[in-house]
Amino acid sequence: MNKIKRMIAVAVLMLSAVAVFAQGPTSRPAPPSQQGSYRVMGGKVYYNNIIMHEADPRTIQDLGYGYAKDDEYVWFEGRILPLVDPYTFRLKHTAPPAGPVPPQHGSQDFGWDDLFSLLFGNGPSQNGGQTPGYDHGHGHNPGGHGPGHMQPERGYEIVGNKVYYNGVLVNNASAHSFKDLGWGYAKDSSRAYYCGKKISNDPTRFKALADGYAMDAFDVYYFGEEIEASTSGFKVLSDGYAKDAFDAYYCGKEVVGSSASTFQVLGNGYAKDAWETYYLGKRVR
């Protein structure tokens, strides 16, 4: 009984706060774990200013909480959720209305449904305070973390003495020494892999970085593809930008004419060096 009384008291206090909050210009709080937003520009889809190469700009919808879907895939924080059907996919918890990208952020009242969701289990306290679960008819729930970023696409599984990626055997992988590094990268005692495919014979010095970048002693990779970058001084910045001792890169492509020594990211897709300003890797004229 005391527990029920405490919950009622908390509900009254929260409702009072909600009443004040609802008077503001935007009355619905931001989704608890959304790290960025989806948008279409120049016929391409972006998440946090990073190009989603496989996304369809004609059909993609921002579902809120970092989720989106198009006619072929469901996405979480810019990455494809494997084996998820976009036609039957739905969020189990309250989320902003689905819509085309860029999303339309209207003002909505935060009311009793939202309050009881927060009090009785449909709010940000679930899933470790991260994202709400989802239901696509198969009971799948994303999990796992890449470096500095939530990484739902962890498709590696060890079954017996074999390693699989999304149900496909990873040829010659050593289950005993196998390590999932995040971002689709993994390694064992002999090789490094991306999405189950061998990409490097230097596992000792191979490491996954962030934003899809990885490197070994001699090569740099972007989502598993070797790129024209030097390992000398290579580091990931943010928003898809990185640099080595000589040049800057955006989504694995050289930022032409940039000066690595003075290059810095400004945010929202912008960057600059001592002489020029860049947007999404292109010089602003």
d(CA 197, CA 184): 10
CB 74 within 8 A of CB 67: yes
Query: For every residue of 45-82, which 3-state class applies, written as one string?
Result: EEECCEECCCCCCCCCEEEECCEEECCCCEEECCEECC
**Range with the poorest average pLDDT among 97-111, 134-148, 257-271:** 134-148
What is the maximum span of the chain, computed from C-alpha positions, in angstroms? 70
Amino acid at 196: G
Segment 75-94, tens digit of pLDDT? 888 888 877 788 888 876 54
Per-residue pLDDT at 93 = 53
Per-residue pLDDT at 18 = 40
Per-residue pLDDT at 20 = 39
d(CA 272, CA 252): 17
The residues pairing with 221 across neighbouring beta strands, listed in sequence order, are 214, 226
Per-residue pLDDT at 36 = 60
d(CA 19, CA 167): 50
24: its two tokens: 């503001």
Instruction: Sort strands 79-80 and 248-250 into parallel, antiparallel or unpaired.
Output: unpaired
Q: What is the pTM of this model?
A: 0.52
**Range with the poorest average pLDDT among 15-29, 55-69, 97-111:** 15-29
Higher pLDDT, 116 or 196: 196
Cα torsion 91, 96, 98, 104 to 10°: value is -160
d(CA 9, CA 4): 9
What's the average model confidence in pLDDT over 104-116? 40
Cα→Cα distances 93→4, 127, 227, 246, Å: 24, 12, 40, 47
What's the average model confidence in pLDDT over 53-62? 88
Confidence of residue 25 (pLDDT cuts 50, 70, 90): very low
75: its two tokens: 């996405």
Segment 260-283, tens digit of pLDDT? 999 999 988 899 999 999 998 999
CB 234 within 8 A of CB 264: no
Segment 89-102, tens digit of pLDDT? 887 654 454 455 55
Higher pLDDT, 17 or 56: 56
* % the chain with pLDDT above 70: 65
Confidence of residue 1 (pLDDT cuts 50, 70, 90): low
The rounded Cα 210 to chain-centroid distance in angstroms is: 11
d(CA 64, CA 99): 9
- What value does the mean pLDDT of the chain take? 73
Q: What are phi and psi of 135, to 5 degrees?
A: -135, 115
Segment 208-266, tens digit of pLDDT? 998 899 999 999 999 999 999 999 999 999 989 999 999 999 999 999 999 999 999 99
